[in-house]
Structure 1
Amino acid sequence: MKRRFLNNSWKAVKLGLASATLALFTLTVQAQEQAQHNNPNVRLGQKALLEGDFKAAASHLQKALPSEANDPDVQYLLGYSQFHNGDYNKAIETFRKVIALDAKHTSAYYYKGKASSNLAVASDSKLDLSAKEQLLKTAIEDYSKALTITPNDAKLYQNRAVTYRDLGILTGTSGATNYNKQKATDAYNKAVADYEKVLSYDASRKDIQTEVKKAKVYRDNLK
């Protein structure tokens, strides 16, 4: 019963590519129609999520472990809470556990990729260029794995495009220790390809049309 509850009641969160506000609103409606989870800490974590209190949610869901450690849905909710708290390293580790339990959990790949890319481009990051490059490559791998499961998800292509662009910027900055024109060119080309894939779903996307032009300008101005 508890697994069915999580699979249904938390569907909006598992499809977390939508805004958190919309997801939480949907969860509120769904939760009213479902039985409660039998673990009190999971229930408290769910309640905190519904209230948008990700810090409290992470705390309660952490306490639900290890008894719920083998439940990918509980682990996912913990990772989701950690992600929205900005605890990206913790979120990455938790999403790894989700994937180990459920290799086709698209949203776990998505948020793991997002956490990695966020760490790489954080303005206050103290990571060296090599570490940032590896994080971006890891994020690309996660989005690619998610696309093997849901190959027609435009948001996955869009996020992978952004990450390729960021990799192009990172490796294409003249004078940087990791400068590599060929790597940067390849990254920008792949960003353009992914952006164009997004446009194949909705050609009216002005924002994506602009990103295609910018990526091509960045690529063509590499020194």
Structure 2
Amino acid sequence: MKRDKLNMFLRKLNHGVVGGMLCFTVLLAQGQTTETAPSNPNVRLGQKALLDGDFKSAANYLQKALPAEAGDPDVMYMLGYSQFQIGEYKKSLASFGKVVALRPDHGSAYYYLGKAKNILAVQTETKTSSGNREKMLSAAIADYSKAIELNAEDVKLYQNRAIAYRDLGILRGTSGTSNYDKAIATEAYNNCIADLEQVLALTPGKKDIQTEIKKAKVYRDNLK
């Protein structure tokens, strides 16, 4: 796969998944030729597994491509993406972390770092202290903010950062808990509302976002 076409595919990867596997398949097929396929057989197998939607196999093959390909941000991104899709969020954090270390301008990697941290922060089945949950949510917000710096017109970044702010508001705004702090919770909800309003500014008329704004205001105004 030629490097420029691979980069185009990777930039659009998460958009393709949002739009369905058909778009994902077309993007990969457009960039892939026999002559330009990656030389590492495990990378080739990993890409094929991604094409087939077999993320577990993709993660296994791409993991086998390491450490030889550990310095390739594209390979690490595909590995992190595959790990994310099969719920291996902690592993995906390590992979996406290597991506941004190699490519500090990789907005999609920051996006998935934020999503993985947010998911881990709110998992109720894991024994994680409130303090650690707050740190993960704050880190997720920072990742989304970095992604927004790189692409300020991407609606999903504001929407996902709003979710992280909302979850922080819930965490710090639940009365009776040891970490309850009305001021912090209020600020989190205000930031959530601001991001949702930005989503509306970019995509006017979205009723689901209007509903979420109303909910966030109710949560904020009912803080005791």
| TM-aligned CA deviation for residue 38 of structure 1 | 1.0
The 1:17–1:170 alpha-carbon spacing in structure 2 relative to 1, beyond 3 Å, is farther
Q: Structure 1 CA distance, aligned partners of 2:113 and 2:122?
A: 15
Q: Tell me, which stretches of 5 or more residues in structure 1 are unaligned? A: none
| Structure 2: gaps (5+ residues) | none
Query: CA offset at residue 26 of structure 1?
Result: 2.9
Partner residue in 2 for 1:202:
203
Q: Please report how far the alpha carbon of residue 154 of structure 1 lies from its aligned counterpart in structure 2 after TM superposition.
A: 1.1
Which residue of the partner structure matches residue 25 of structure 1?
A: 25
Q: 1:10 corresponds to which residue?
A: 10
CA deviations on 1:49-92 (whole Å, 9 max, x unpaired) are 11111111011001111111111000000000011111111111
| Identical pairs, percent | 57
Give 1:116's aligned amino acid. K
SS at match of 2:146: helix
Residues 19-168 of structure 1 mapped to structure 2, 5 A cutoff: 19=19, 21-32=21-32, 35-168=36-169
Equivalent-residue separation in structure 2 for 1:46 and 1:204 (angstroms): 38
Aligned residues between the structures = 223
TM-score normalised over the length of structure 2? 0.93
| Residue 212 (structure 1) aligns with | 213
- Superposition deviation, residue 133 in structure 1: 0.8
Q: Please list the CA deviations of residues 127-166 of structure 1 after superposition, one character each: whole Å capped at 9, or x if unmatched.
A: 1111111111000000000011101111100100011001
Q: State the SS of the aligned residue for 1:10.
A: helix
Distance 1:109 1:211 in 2: 24
Deviates more, 1:7-16 or 1:137-146: 7-16
Q: In the TM superposition, what whole-angstrom CA distance separates every residue of 1:86-129 from its partner, at most 9, and x where no partner exists?
A: 11111111111000000000000000000000001123222111
Q: CA RMSD in A?
A: 1.8
In the alignment, residue 6 of structure 1 is paired with which amino acid?
Answer: L
Q: Secondary structure at the match of 1:86?
A: coil
Instruction: Give 1:45 shift.
Output: 0.3
1:204 partner SS: coil
SS at match of 1:61: helix
CA distance in 2, matches of 1:23, 1:211: 29
Label 1:17 to 1:47 Cα distance change in 2 as closer, same or farther (>3 A).
closer
1:15·1:107 contact (CA, 8 Å) conserved in 2? no
| Runs of 4+ with >4 A deviation | 14-17, 31-34
Structure 2: distance between partners of 1:22 and 1:139: 30
2:17/2:24 contact within 8 Å kept = no
